């Protein structure tokens, strides 16, 4: 039984129990209503609301199967890439937080532009100098470095996440990797390292413990997005709240 089949069994067993509880709730409303009117509920009328032993046993079995399954080890290449995508998205979220902080520092300093544009008298120009003397309204090298580094991190993790998602959806690529693992008799999920180099459009995956490793190149070129693409998508999302089709 695969990991997903175990989860499906858990869902099915919980669904059966939920239906019992839901039915009992409806029965209870009806019974209380009849009791107020003098209606006599017959023996066994609530039987459909009882959780049977077989239903409970099915739940316990499915519960134990899911709890004890190793979901961290991918069973095929699609799962491998999906796991890597999720990890890259977590890193991307953290990088975005760092970028937001760094960008905030820079944008606060650029706020001096309005005062500078309006400073056409001696008092205003003097006030501008005083404003620029404050740390928050000046940009230093450390702030520029932090901002540029954050931008680079966002680009890197967005690139990696997109590549792993595209790879997970590329049946030709995943089939090739699965076949490689089958022919050489090792588990795909036992990989030790995986890298993606966009300039070469190449994944390199190593299974060091099994003594195997290989590269897969040229599968994602149709998914490449340049600066114009991402800027246009960003404008669209800001205007319409969703990605363009």
Same domain, residue pair 85 and 61: no
Same domain, residue pair 26 and 105: no
Share of the chain above pLDDT 70, in %: 100
Give residue-wise pLDDT tens across range 110-126.
888 888 888 888 888 89
Which neighbouring-strand residues pair with 197?
202
Same domain, residue pair 84 and 40: no
**CA nearest 86: which of 2, 168, 206, 180?**
168
Q: Is residue 245 part of a domain?
A: no
Counting the structural domains of the chain, the total is 2
Same domain, residue pair 36 and 90: no
pTM: 0.71
Q: Is residue 105 part of a domain?
A: yes
Q: Is residue 200 part of a domain?
A: yes
Give residue-wise pLDDT tens across range 135-154.
778 888 999 999 999 999 99
> ∠ CA 174-2-219 to the nearest 5 degrees?
5
Structure tokens at 121: 């008298």
Supply the angle between the helices 171-184 and 141-168 in degrees, to the nearest 10.
70
Q: Is residue 23 part of a domain?
A: yes
Nearest-angstrom CA–CA distance, 13 and 53 = 12
Same domain, residue pair 90 and 190: yes
Report whether 212 contacts 186 (CB < 8 A): yes
Q: Residue 223 gets which letter from DSSP?
A: G
The confidence score (pLDDT) of residue 14 equals 97
Structure tokens at 154: 């966002």
Give the phi and the psi of residue 215 in degrees, each rounded to 5: -120, 150
Give residue-wise pLDDT tens across range 177-194.
999 999 999 999 999 999
Q: Is residue 150 part of a domain?
A: yes
Full residue range of the structural domain in which residue 62 is found: 3-68
CB contact set of 141 (below 8 Å; sequence gap of 6+): none
Domain's final residue, options 34, 68, 102 = 68
Same domain, residue pair 158 and 191: yes
Higher pLDDT pick, 121 / 9: 9
Same domain, residue pair 158 and 48: no
Structure tokens at 155: 């680009």
Same domain, residue pair 108 and 35: no
Q: Is residue 206 part of a domain?
A: yes
**CA nearest 21: which of 44, 55, 54?**
55
Is pLDDT above 80 for 71?
Answer: no
Is pLDDT above 90 for 204?
Answer: yes
The confidence score (pLDDT) of residue 113 equals 83
The confidence score (pLDDT) of residue 208 equals 94
The confidence score (pLDDT) of residue 116 equals 85
Domain's final residue, options 51, 68, 85 = 68
Q: Is residue 57 part of a domain?
A: yes
Task: List, in sequence order, every beta strand (DSSP E) within 107-239.
Answer: 193-197, 202-207, 212-217
Same domain, residue pair 144 and 64: no
Same domain, residue pair 14 and 118: no
Give the phi and the psi of residue 220 in degrees, each rounded to 5: -115, 10
């Amino acid at each position: 039984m695969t990991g997903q089949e175990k989860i499906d069994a858990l869902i099915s067993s919980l669904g059966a129990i939920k239906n019992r509880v839901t039915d009992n709730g409806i029965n209870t409303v009806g019974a209380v209503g009849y009791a107020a009117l003098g209606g006599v509920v017959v023996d066994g009328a609530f039987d459909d609301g009882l959780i049977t032993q077989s239903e409970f046993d099915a739940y316990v079995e499915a519960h134990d199967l899911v709890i004890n399954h190793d979901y961290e080890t991918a069973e095929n290449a699609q799962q491998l890439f999906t796991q890597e995508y999720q990890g890259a998205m977590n890193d991307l979220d953290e990088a975005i937080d760092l970028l937001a902080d760094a960008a905030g520092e820079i944008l606060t300093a650029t706020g001096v532009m309005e005062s500078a544009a309006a400073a056409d008298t001696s008092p205003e120009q003097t006030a501008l100098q005083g404003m620029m003397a404050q740390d928050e309204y000046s940009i230093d090298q450390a702030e520029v470095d932090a901002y540029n580094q954050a931008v680079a991190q966002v680009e890197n993790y967005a690139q990696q996440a997109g590549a792993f998602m595209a790879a997970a959806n590329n049946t030709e690529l995943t089939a090739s990797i699965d076949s490689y693992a089958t022919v050489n008799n090792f588990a795909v999920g036992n990989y030790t390292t995986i890298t993606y180099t966009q300039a070469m459009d190449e994944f390199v995956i190593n299974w060091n413990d099994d003594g195997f490793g290989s590269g897969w190149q040229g599968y994602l070129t149709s998914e490449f997005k340049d600066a114009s693409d991402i800027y246009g998508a960003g404008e669209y999302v800001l205007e319409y709240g969703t990605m363009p089709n």
